[in-house]
Amino acid sequence: MTLRVGLIGAGIMGADHARILSQQIAGVSLHFICDRDTARARQIADDTGAAHVSDDPLAVINDRQVDAVLIASPDQTHAPLTKACIAAGKPVLCEKPLSQDSAECLDVIAAEVKTGKRLVQIGFMRRFDLGYVDMKKALGNGSIGPALMMHNFHRNVSAPPSFTGQMAITNSAPHEFDIARYVLGEEFESISVFRPKLADPTKVGAPVFMVLTTCGGQIVNVEINNNAAYGYDVRGELVGEKGSVFLRSPVASELNVNLQSVISYPADWRPRFAEAYRLQNAAWLKSIETGKPVGASAWDGYASTLVAEAGVTSLESGSAVRIIPIAKPALY
Amino acid sequence: MTLRVGLIGAGIMGADHARILSQQIAGVSLHFICDRDTARARQIADDTGAAHVSDDPLAVINDRQVDAVLIASPDQTHAPLTKACIAAGKPVLCEKPLSQDSAECLDVIAAEVKTGKRLVQIGFMRRFDLGYVDMKKALGNGSIGPALMMHNFHRNVSAPPSFTGQMAITNSAPHEFDIARYVLGEEFESISVFRPKLADPTKVGAPVFMVLTTCGGQIVNVEINNNAAYGYDVRGELVGEKGSVFLRSPVASELNVNLQSVISYPADWRPRFAEAYRLQNAAWLKSIETGKPVGASAWDGYASTLVAEAGVTSLESGSAVRIIPIAKPALY
Amino acid sequence: MTLRVGLIGAGIMGADHARILSQQIAGVSLHFICDRDTARARQIADDTGAAHVSDDPLAVINDRQVDAVLIASPDQTHAPLTKACIAAGKPVLCEKPLSQDSAECLDVIAAEVKTGKRLVQIGFMRRFDLGYVDMKKALGNGSIGPALMMHNFHRNVSAPPSFTGQMAITNSAPHEFDIARYVLGEEFESISVFRPKLADPTKVGAPVFMVLTTCGGQIVNVEINNNAAYGYDVRGELVGEKGSVFLRSPVASELNVNLQSVISYPADWRPRFAEAYRLQNAAWLKSIETGKPVGASAWDGYASTLVAEAGVTSLESGSAVRIIPIAKPALY
Amino acid sequence: MTLRVGLIGAGIMGADHARILSQQIAGVSLHFICDRDTARARQIADDTGAAHVSDDPLAVINDRQVDAVLIASPDQTHAPLTKACIAAGKPVLCEKPLSQDSAECLDVIAAEVKTGKRLVQIGFMRRFDLGYVDMKKALGNGSIGPALMMHNFHRNVSAPPSFTGQMAITNSAPHEFDIARYVLGEEFESISVFRPKLADPTKVGAPVFMVLTTCGGQIVNVEINNNAAYGYDVRGELVGEKGSVFLRSPVASELNVNLQSVISYPADWRPRFAEAYRLQNAAWLKSIETGKPVGASAWDGYASTLVAEAGVTSLESGSAVRIIPIAKPALY
């Protein structure tokens, strides 16, 4: 059986998903590439052998030939389109964030709960990265003892000029919030945000450094550094009472020249998480087949947005902010 | 367009190929799983959604529904089945070695040359490993200067009791011979084989250490250690006049416990080269589509077998043995 | 010229200093080993060829044969003995902390200022560790741009049962406070202390996680984990606007066995910082000869104690605490 | 008790030894710096506080104030000066090689044997390197099983134009021959030398690649690459039946800039083996005190020279050459 997927959004992430679905996973056909910019959609479709293009996401979602939907369109469209998928009764893999507004996340949750069925997966692909999988396993099998702390560092080469102020918290950090929640199996209780000053005070784009506490008493810190300059680099360590687990990034080779041993950093997240995206998308399609949801749920989308909102408040107030979620519906 | 593949051989490698083709590559359908042991073939077919099973490789090769053939059956069947594919005009990916007998490799080459068309790819998947790709690139772009030496180390946890004497040279080493030929872009001229003694002289399975010279004057050494005990571990270094490139193995995480920082080794080759197999098989299928051959050819299969034969002679004689290939046909 | 040193304190650190002075540095003679426990002092003297033993630190300090004093006695004696050295006009290397009470540090500073001469060096040996030296150099030469953040992790295998509560801040953290001040060339402005919960709430010895801001606007975090179990491990990273520098620990070899690649951790700080202690002590003796002070001063001792005091307040209050030093005397 | 050392030779190695003896070791005084170039000797003496300078090595050796001699003069003087020390009954640490002529080594051995007392230590400082110490320990305690192979790689940035042909074997390789003999506890039986071609055949200085067999049946390979360009880099691996041990080089920090993670290589051997030299020299002085010889003996000097001679023969003949030592005198 071949699943026909409608892909909404043909930007960088959309193009990547099109490539993954068309090349690295069996049993799936790209039925639609949908983008406002139909020329762009057409190009991706030509590259990947997708059957159709469209500029109307709702038409794609509701097309009877479309079995499942992958949303990679701009952030503000995620929630409404996900709700449209729920309304159509179709499984959907929605890129993070579900919404930058926790209330809107709750709308999606309410809609999904009403159907009584899990339809939504959020694109927190790190849950499929083998390093985080190892971390979670080490915690589960007791080899590092009970968890105490988790240290997380996220660095991009550079952010667009528009990427300022609180966007480090609302756009980049949710990956870290989600993976820490997932690895630890805990919800967050509070967040304190710190921000260093750039040498040139007229510039924007300084990192944020966050310290979170979990309901289980763990401390989690998150550095988001979107202008780290030196490379795309994600690091993490889970510290337990008996030991710790470090994340390692994929390295294929080492170059020795000019009195230096050099390992290259990727310029963006794609080489670093290529395998995680592939495994995530394959697991999503498999979960549609088996009916057993995997990966991050709409609830997880809500939880990380709620943390980000508290983070923004903390950034503004300079104090720790408490995170108070609604009661988790039984569906999740 | 979906390519229908007939997979011949449902052993460990065959099962792996079935999994790769059925899960990790788009645009391909497993049309046949063929094995003498039809129960085994049936199980793989059930696991991977293959359409049919068979115990008759020639019937599979000649089936009109089969577009391409992947041979992963026992070594001695590789050459005759590859010839059957050539006779049927069908593209074939044949696991290494093409044959352990260079004369038989020449038979295959003669048959392929007669068709005037490249149909055969040999499963030297390391050519698709990102580390070796980096090596070749560093040599090509001049960053390490002209090549001088290549150091290669191949280690398995343990070999079956049957895996003794010269099999390290004839079965394991061809991967090293091929990748060195490929990275350096050179043919080998001579080989000298050395073998350490095991502490218990009644045991078999000691490593072999080989030193090869290329026609271009490089020195290549190859350690094959099939009972290395500590893990599956492949290492390589290409040394040029201005620098060197090291291979790195994939590592997802690092565990700190009991006064130790621990990186796990895989127990066999599959995790180490999972990505290389996936990329090789995808490139093979793509090459059928485009008509542009990629990867190792029948000639490459012959070349590495010829080196292995000289290696066996050197192991017996204790002296360096010259390697004298036939003239390379224009097809390659 | 041979400097005659009086060593006060023959505990673990004292014994180490005796070994360093008697074996790894030229031009120095151990004139006295002084300890309440004269048997212990005698044993160290025998091991290291020290001339005399004593149980009276003041007699040692004031002995006319003693050119310089190294204080490695219990923490509460540091300040009074350092003052005695100042009174005697003798150069002194005092193990950290100068005092756990910043007011007492100010007493020492006042005494030294009165002499108009730098006599006191504090044993913050990390300033001589080659990794931190590299960090400071990378910041100084601009290769990583202006400093933004510094991440510091200090882990011991286990702390004695008495080592609880705030001692992680007052005893271990000063090394981190000092090295961050030194590398960044900045004073601290505030500190916020977080503490995870142990799984067994009746146990003591949980780590502390601190976030500090500097007057220059940098963020510094410090983890002190005295019961880290897995090994003695100190890590650090300095993050600038253009790149970062990581500390690396000394590693002599790597063991491959049982499907693992293993690097050993030391059980305590001595192997990790052996070279830094040697370099520190040699630099101290050299500075006596040249009259040019090196290393951490009494002011540095005060500064890190002041931060620790603020840290203890923050631990108790759960809020950020501002750090307000006195004006720095011109002597420093 | 202070040992008065006469240092003969004030070149690069001599200056280093003067620095080590005058700064990093207690209980020793530099009594003489001796060099043909007395201005040079004077400068080193001034830098290190040595008491006297001389241009007459024999006068230094025979000076009654000199307790022990360190020879770091040109290679061809090593044997005669060592014999003079033996004649004077004085302990001597002689830089490697004892002689490049095995017959001359035997002369020294005969002279030392006649005294019935071990006086000579050869400067094979790697025996004191912590990585090789770990290797030997892992072999001794059985953790890697019986030894099978040892892989050794020695790389310099560049060799002087005069450093050509067989000098890689006679000058650099003895360090490798000695450390392999020492770690394995075996003598060598044969050597086969291979040499790659440089791209420019008019240039000299190509590496040599040697394969040696031991009397115990192990295979040892040694790459000497004196024009490796990229850095000073020594690597080694000991492979046993149950595992392996890798040497690691000292690394203090890691720099992340420009899409690269960079570890610096030293430009020459001194930073790499600084600690080994310090430990060697301290152990030598200690051995004079205790009367228990440590480190490499004159016999070890002879053994590695004998291997180098066989290596030169193999380089010329292109064949394996057998190594036949005299019977080892009981003194060693």
Q: Show Cβ contacts of residue C254 under 8 Å, excluding neighbours closer than 6 positions.
A: C261, C262, C263, D245, D246, D248
Per-residue pLDDT at B1? 62
Q: Give every CB contact of residue B30 below 8 A, 6+ residues apart in sequence.
A: B5, B7, B18, B21, B22, B45, B48, B49, B50, B51
**Count of alpha carbons within 13 Å of A134, Cβ hemisphere only?**
21
> Strand order in D120-122's β-sheet?
D52-54, D28-34, D3-8, D68-71, D92-94, D120-122
Q: What is the pLDDT along chain B (332 residues), one digit of tens a residue?
A: 689 999 999 999 999 999 999 989 888 899 999 999 999 999 999 999 898 999 999 999 999 999 999 999 999 999 999 999 999 999 999 999 999 999 999 999 999 999 999 999 999 999 999 999 999 999 999 999 999 999 999 999 998 887 877 999 999 999 999 999 999 999 999 999 999 999 998 888 899 999 999 999 999 999 999 999 999 999 999 999 999 999 999 999 999 999 999 999 999 999 999 999 999 999 999 999 999 999 999 999 999 999 999 999 999 999 999 999 999 999 99
**Does the distance separating the beta carbons of D258 and A262 come in below 8 Å?**
no
Side chain identity, residue B285: L
**Pairwise CA distance, residues B72 & B49, whole Å:** 18
Q: pLDDT tens digits for D246-288?
A: 999 999 999 999 999 999 999 999 999 999 999 999 999 999 9
A72-104, pLDDT tens digit by residue?
A: 999 999 999 999 999 999 999 999 999 999 999
User: Do β-strands A219-225 and A147-155 pair in parallel, antiparallel, or remain unpaired?
Assistant: parallel
Task: For chain C, give the percent of residues with pLDDT over 70.
Answer: 100
User: Could you tell me the CA-to-CA distances from B199 to B205, B298, D137, D145, D178 in Å, in that order?
Assistant: 11, 40, 18, 9, 22
Name the residue in chain A with its Cα closest to that of C206: A148
pLDDT in tens, chain D (332 residues): 689 999 999 999 999 999 999 989 888 899 999 999 999 999 999 999 898 999 999 999 999 999 999 999 999 999 999 999 999 999 999 999 999 999 999 999 999 999 999 999 999 999 999 999 999 999 999 999 999 999 999 999 998 887 877 999 999 999 999 999 999 999 999 999 999 999 998 888 899 999 999 999 999 999 999 999 999 999 999 999 999 999 999 999 999 999 999 999 999 999 999 999 999 999 999 999 999 999 999 999 999 999 999 999 999 999 999 999 999 999 99
Supply the pLDDT for residue D163.
80
Give the length of chain A. 332
pLDDT tens by residue, C22-44: 989 888 899 999 999 999 999 99
Judged by CB atoms closer than 8 Å, whether chains meet at D157 and A260 is answered as no
pLDDT in tens, B173-201: 999 999 999 999 999 999 999 999 999 98
How far does C245 lie from chain D, in Å, by closest CA? Answer: 5
Distance from CA of B260 to the nearest CA of C (A): 5
Nearest in space to A277 (alpha carbons), one of A130, A125, A134:
A125
- Contact (CB, 8 A) for B214 and D195: no
CB atoms within 10 A of CB B323: 23
CA distance A3 to B241: 53
Cβ–Cβ < 8 Å for B92, B297: no
CB–CB of C211 and A219 under 8 A?
no
The answer to whether the CB of D150 falls within 8 A of the CB of D239 is yes
Instruction: Determine the distance from the C-alpha atom of residue D138 to the mean position of all C-alpha atoms in its chain, rounded to a whole number.
Output: 22
Q: Do A257 and D233 touch (CB under 8 A)?
A: no
Q: Hey, is the C-beta of B140 within 8 angstroms of any chain D C-beta? A: no
Residues pairing with B225 in the sheet: B155
Indicate whether C176 pLDDT > 80.
yes
User: What distance in Å separates the CA atoms of residue A82 and residue A63, rounded to the nearest whole number?
Assistant: 15
Where helices occur in D116-165 by DSSP H, the ranges are 130-140
Sign, Cα dihedral of D278, D279, D280, D285: positive
Please give the average per-residue pLDDT across A130-150, as a whole number. 98
CB contact under 8 Å between C260 and B231, yes or no, is yes
Other Cβ atoms less than 10 A from the Cβ of A259: the count is: 17
Interface test with C, best of D20, D21, D22, D256 (most C CBs within 10 A): D256
User: Residue B151 is inside which H or E element, if any?
Assistant: strand B147-155
Residue with tokens 């998928």: A85
Q: How long, in residues, is chain D?
A: 332
Burial class (CB in 10 A: 0-12, 13-18, 19+), A39: exposed
Contact in structure between A261 and D256 (CB atoms under 8 Å): no
How many CB atoms within 10 Å of residue B59?
Answer: 13
User: Closest by alpha carbon to A119, among A265, A301, A293?
Assistant: A293
Task: Kindly determine whether residue A231 and residue D264, on different chains, have CB atoms separated by under 8 Å.
Answer: no
pLDDT band at residue C257 using 50, 70 and 90 as cut-offs = very high
Would you state the structure tokens that stand for residue C108, as one six-digit string?
């020492």
Q: For residue C327, give the DSSP letter.
A: P
Cross-chain Cβ contact D257/C242 below 8 Å: yes
What is the C-alpha to C-alpha distance for residues D248 and C276, in angstroms, rounded to an integer?
20
Q: Which chains touch B (3 or more CB pairs under 8 A)?
A: A, C, D
Closest residue, chain C, to D260 (C-alpha): C243
The residue among A244 and D165 whose pLDDT is bigger is A244
Contacts of A258 in chain D (CB under 8 A): 230
pLDDT at D27: 82
Measured between CB atoms, which of D28, D245, D251 is closest to C248? Answer: D251
**Could you read off the pLDDT of C39-79 as tens digits, one per residue?**
999 999 999 989 899 999 999 999 999 999 999 999 999 99
The pLDDT-based confidence of A1 (bands split at 50, 70, 90) is low
pLDDT over 70 percentage in chain A: 100
- A165 has a pLDDT exceeding 80: no
- Residue C325: pLDDT over 80: yes
Interchain proximity C262–B265, CB inside 8 Å: no
Question: For residue B194, which of D218, D173, D323 has the smallest C-alpha distance?
Answer: D218
Q: Per-residue pLDDT averaged across A181-201, rounded?
A: 96
Please, which residues 194-253 of chain B have a Cβ atom closer than 8 Å to chain D? 194-199, 206-207, 209, 211, 213, 216-219, 221, 223, 225, 227-230, 239, 241-244
Contact state of B265 with C256 under an 8 Å Cβ cutoff: yes
As beta bridge partners, residue B94 has: B71, B122
Q: Using an 8 Å CB-CB cutoff, list chain C residues near D251.
A: 248, 251
**How many C-beta atoms surround the C-beta of residue D119 within 10 A?**
23
Q: Which residue of C has its CA nearest to D131?
A: C252
Q: Which residues of A touch C221 (CB under 8 A)?
A: 209, 211, 221
What pLDDT was estimated at residue D202?
Answer: 82
**Which positions in chain A touch D259 (Cβ < 8 Å)?**
157, 230-231, 264-267
Chains with 3+ CB–CB pairs under 8 A to D are A, B, C
- C262 → closest Cβ in B233, B262, B266: B262
Q: What token pair was written down for C213?
A: 């801001």
Best residue in B155, B235, B259 to probe C by mutation, most C CBs within 10 Å?
B259
3-state secondary structure of C84: helix
Q: ipTM of this model?
A: 0.95
Task: Tell me how crowded residue D259 is: count the other CB atoms within 10 A of its CB.
Answer: 17
Place of tokens 């019937």: B59
User: What is the predicted pLDDT for the residue at A309?
Assistant: 97
Mean pLDDT across chain C: 96
CA distance C91 to C101: 22
Q: Which residue of C has its CA nearest to B157?
A: C259
DSSP annotation of C318 reads S
Distances in Å between the alpha carbon of B296 and those of B98, B116, B178, C300?
11, 17, 8, 65
Interchain pair A231, D261: CB under 8 A: yes
Q: Per residue, what are the HEC states of chain A?
A: CCEEEEEECCCHHHHHHHHHHHHHCCCEEEEEEECCCHHHHHHHHHHHCCCEEECCHHHHHHCCCCCEEEECCCHHHHHHHHHHHHHCCCCEEECCCCCCCHHHHHHHHHHHHHHCCCCEEECCHHHHCHHHHHHHHHHHCCCCCCEEEEEEEEECCCCCCCCCCCHHHHHHHHHHHHHHHHHHCCCEEEEEEECCCCCCCCCCCCCEEEEEEECCCCEEEEEEECCCCCCCEEEEEEEECCEEEEECCCCCEEEEECCEEEEECCCCHHHHHHHHHHHHHHHHHHHHHHCCCCCECHHHHHHHHHHHHHHHHHHHHCCCEECCCCCCCCCC
Q: What is the pLDDT of residue C77?
A: 97
Backbone φ and ψ for D70, nearest 5 degrees, come out as: -115, 120
Contact C208, C195 (CB under 8 A): yes
Read off the tokens for D275: 């600690």
With 0-12 / 13-18 / 19 or more C-beta atoms within 10 angstroms meaning exposed / middle / buried, residue B234 is buried
Q: Is the CB of A149 less than 8 angstroms away from the CB of C241?
A: no
Residue D317, burial from CB neighbour count under 10 angstroms (0-12, 13-18, 19+): exposed
Chain C contact probe: residue of A134, A143, A149, A321 with most C CBs at under 10 A: A149
Contact C197 A216 (CB under 8 A): yes
Q: What is the pLDDT of residues C275-300, one digit of tens each?
A: 999 999 999 999 999 999 999 999 99
Distance CA B297, CA B117 (A): 11
C85: confidence class by pLDDT, cuts 50, 70, 90: very high
Counting one residue from chain A and one from chain D, the pairs whose CB atoms sit within 8 A come to 52
Cβ of B229 within 8 Å of Cβ of D243? The answer is yes
CA distance B249 to A270: 19
Return the ∠ at Cα B216 (arms to B210 and B218), rounded to 5°. Answer: 40
Residue A66 has a pLDDT of: 97
A221 → closest Cβ in C221, C225, C227: C221
Residue in the structure block whose two tokens are 């500590």: B230
Q: Which residues of A touch D230 (CB under 8 A)?
A: 256-260
Pairwise CB contact (< 8 Å): C260 & B264: yes
Work out the mean pLDDT of chain D and round it to a whole number.
96
CB-based contacts of A228, cutoff 8 Å, min separation 6? A155, A156, A157, A207, C239, C244
Mutate to test the interface with A, among B133, B253, B259, B260 (most CBs of A within 10 A): B253
Is the CB of B256 less than 8 angstroms away from the CB of C157? no
Chain D residues touching C28 at Cβ < 8 A? 26
Distance from CA of B318 to the nearest CA of D (A): 10
Q: Is there a contact between C250 and C234 (Cβ–Cβ < 8 Å)?
A: no
Three-class secondary structure of residue C238 per DSSP: strand
User: What average pLDDT does the structure give for chain A?
Assistant: 96
**Contact present, B48 and B25 (Cβ < 8 Å):** no
Q: List chain D residues with CB under 8 Å of B139.
A: none
Instruction: Output phi, psi for A197, to 5 deg.
Output: -95, 145
Q: Which of C256, C258, C265 sits opposite B261 (nearest CB)?
A: C265
- Pairwise pLDDT comparison (D27 vs A52), residue with the higher score: A52
**What DSSP string runs through C163-202?**
--TTHIIIIIHHHHHHHHHHHHT--EEEEEEE-PPPSSTT
Domains parsed from chain D with CATH numbers: 3-123+275-297 (3.40.50.720), 127-268+304-322 (3.30.360.10)
pLDDT value at residue A211: 98
**pLDDT at site D21:** 93
A-chain residue closest to D256, CA distance: A230
User: Residues of C with CB below 8 A from B229's CB?
Assistant: 257
Candidates C190, C261, C248, C241; CA nearest to C220 is C190
Chain A neighbors (3+ CB pairs < 8 Å): B, C, D
Kindly give, in sequence order, each residue whose CB lies less than 8 Å from that of residue B13, ignoring residues fewer than 6 positions away: B72, B95
> What is the identity of the amino acid at B27?
G
Pick the residue of B256, B281, B286 with the most A CBs within 10 A to test the interface with A by mutation.
Answer: B256
The confidence score (pLDDT) of residue C6 equals 97
